[in-house]
Structure 1
């Protein structure tokens, strides 16, 4: 029997992306973000979430996409990556779906302007729907994780 993955689907512009549910801690509405000096431009700052300081990254900025104004649908997806909790600002978090692990193909070199190194693969869902699966370890590479850990001081 094929392995099923439970995935949270979120959107950046017209593209749909997925993160495995077991890597997601919580999904929050947009809240005030405290800016941090000298942080890379895609790091928007930090939030205080139930007493825990969490760095927040704008995924649009991280992927080199055009930044937009946050809306009522915008969300912060809190993920756990290498012992660190990080928030990703996304345009919307739509639903949770099950996908067949075998339906995930290797990503092409560039998808919607995003380099393949940030992607785990492309999942085919039904006849027409494609879901871009994120590679969290590359979205947050080791050097950036060290920068994020320093933000918590």
Structure 2
């Protein structure tokens, strides 16, 4: 697999979703923003919740709840958006709460969770003193088909109506 993480992330951004903690390598994270209203994106793949207007740029918002099989819920003003880089694509992830950065000690990294059945989109797990955190690999988050579908949906929004 060419898109494996070359090495363990040194630092992760922790966030919660439905009471579970997850992490993202900080090198993939661009900024954190408060929840804002989303623009619907017709014909987008189901994993895309809508578009976020960030400084005049429309970013696709990926629905982590759907991807991790959590129950859907409407956008709350308390939600956070994590602006992140998924390969060549900049995206927004809606999370319940961004908890902040955590530096990982070298022995905290465990790559085995990627082998567990049903654990997709995971680069590994960080063993922290207060529990295990699954760390996501955003490059595997959108399937190629979803990426193409998303490109087509985004292109359709750019044509003047």
How many residue pairs match? The answer is 146
TM-score between both structures, scaled by the size of structure 1? 0.85
Higher normalized strand content (fraction of residues): 1
Which residue of structure 1 lines up, in the alignment, with residue 16 of structure 2?
11
1:53 is the counterpart of 2:55: no
Residues in 2 aligned to 1:14 and 1:38: alpha-carbon distance in whole angstroms = 31
Instruction: List, as ranges, runs of 4+ consecutive aligned residues in structure 1 with deviation greater than 6 Å.
Output: none
1:109 is the counterpart of 2:116: yes
Which residue of structure 1 lines up, in the alignment, with residue 158 of structure 2?
none
Residues in 2 aligned to 1:99 and 1:18: alpha-carbon distance in whole angstroms = 11
The gaps in structure 1 that reach 5 residues or longer are none
Residues in 2 aligned to 1:28 and 1:123: alpha-carbon distance in whole angstroms = 24
**Which runs of structure 2 are paired with 1:37-52 in the superposition (5 Å)?**
37-52=42-57
The gaps in structure 2 that reach 5 residues or longer are 1-7, 156-161
CA RMSD of aligned residues (A): 1.8
TM-score between both structures, scaled by the size of structure 2? 0.81
